[in-house]
């Protein structure tokens, strides 16, 4: 691809040379060693490029770089090969690390059938993995980010997961969600990487959407009353708040208090890898 772009650049340079007196042109034959270099001045372009027989063309053009760039792009769009669409699938290293421990927790609390709503699905790698492990469940991913939803859709198509529905645009802090009910809900690494109203909205909606006995499973780091954070989580919390003052590791007891106002009771807390917790709330 680099060779094609360089050849096109030489063609444009030669084409412009025929139509202007402001250009000096010198052709040299030499063996190319290393990559060609490009340097741009205020009023000129210096380009080094291959020609077919390995020669080096040295073009010095007193033209506007924008005009040359436009010409190259125009020529490529008319004559060059079509570029493949960029792969929209995102990937999260942490998702690949924690998906199996989370699946072990889900295996003990999810219903045998029904629909599981995932909030803040991100790249979609979690929901695809869980859909493969729990084929009797219908998985409904969601995320407020268009890029994340595109990633989820393409992961589902690539892995051919018929039990993964089209991702929904859900902002957890919104009062109304485009969902009528769910048999279970999960939210992985959401509570600490979102403003507090998102957690409040998540718990309120869980109380409205889940049937009695339905579970909401949360995963991530939490503070505990009377227990100091481990050093790694202290650093992580500081980095979160530096990125966004509304983010940060939440006190689990605060989350439990909001959940109780929505008819959700804390039923289990499981120690997970990397100083995270698996937290299960059950609709009463």
pLDDT band at residue 62 using 50, 70 and 90 as cut-offs? very low
The pLDDT of residue 6: 36
CA nearest neighbour of 105 among 267, 255, 213, 225: 267
- Over residues 109-160, the pLDDT tens digits come to 999 999 999 999 999 999 999 999 999 999 999 999 999 999 999 999 999 9
How far apart CA 206 and CA 119 sit, in angstroms, is 11
The tokens of 113 are what? 């059938």
CA dist list (Å): 63 to 5, 7, 12, 44, 73: 19, 19, 12, 6, 16
Burial class (CB in 10 A: 0-12, 13-18, 19+), 151: buried
Res. 104: pLDDT tops 90: yes
pTM of the predicted protein model: 0.71
Question: In this predicted structure, what is the pLDDT of residue 56?
Answer: 35
Average pLDDT for residues 62-70, to the nearest whole number? 36
Average pLDDT, the chain: 80
Q: Pick one of 3.40.630.10, 3.40.50.150, 3.30.479.30, 3.10.580.10 as the CATH number of 93-283.
A: 3.40.50.150
List where CATH 3.40.50.150 sits in the chain: 93-283
CA distance 45 to 32: 20
The pLDDT value recorded for residue 86 is 84
Query: Buried b / exposed e across 190-228, counting CB within 10 Å, b at 16+?
Result: bbbbbebebbbbbbbbbbebbeeebbbbbbbbbbeeeee
């Amino acid at each position: 691809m680099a060779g094609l772009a360089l050849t096109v650049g030489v063609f444009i340079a030669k084409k412009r040379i025929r139509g202007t007196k402001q250009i000096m042109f010198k052709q040299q034959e030499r063996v190319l060693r290393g990559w060609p270099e490009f340097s741009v001045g205020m009023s000129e372009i210096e380009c080094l490029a291959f020609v077919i027989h390995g020669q080096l063309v040295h073009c010095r053009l007193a033209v506007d770089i924008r005009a040359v760039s436009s010409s190259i792009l125009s020529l490529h769009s008319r004559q060059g090969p079509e570029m493949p669409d960029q792969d929209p699938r995102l990937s999260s290293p942490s998702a690949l690390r924690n998906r199996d421990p989370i699946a072990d927790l889900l295996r003990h609390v999810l219903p045998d059938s029904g629909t599981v709503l995932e909030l803040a699905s991100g790249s979609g790698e979690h929901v695809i993995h869980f859909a493969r492990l729990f084929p009797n469940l219908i998985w409904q991913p969601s995320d407020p980010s268009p890029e994340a939803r595109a990633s989820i859709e393409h992961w589902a198509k690539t892995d051919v997961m018929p039990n993964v529905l089209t991702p929904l645009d859900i902002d957890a802090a919104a009062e109304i969600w485009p969902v009528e009910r769910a048999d279970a809900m999960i939210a992985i690494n959401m509570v600490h990487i979102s403003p507090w109203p998102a957690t409040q909205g998540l718990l309120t909606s869980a109380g409205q959407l889940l049937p009695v006995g339905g579970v909401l499973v949360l995963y991530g780091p939490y503070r505990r009353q009377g227990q100091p954070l481990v050093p790694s989580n202290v650093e992580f919390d500081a980095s979160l708040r530096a990125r966004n003052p509304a983010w940060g590791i939440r006190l689990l007891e605060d989350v439990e208090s909001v959940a109780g106002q929505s008819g959700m009771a804390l039923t289990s807390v499981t120690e997970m890898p990397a100083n995270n917790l698996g937290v299960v709330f059950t609709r009463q």
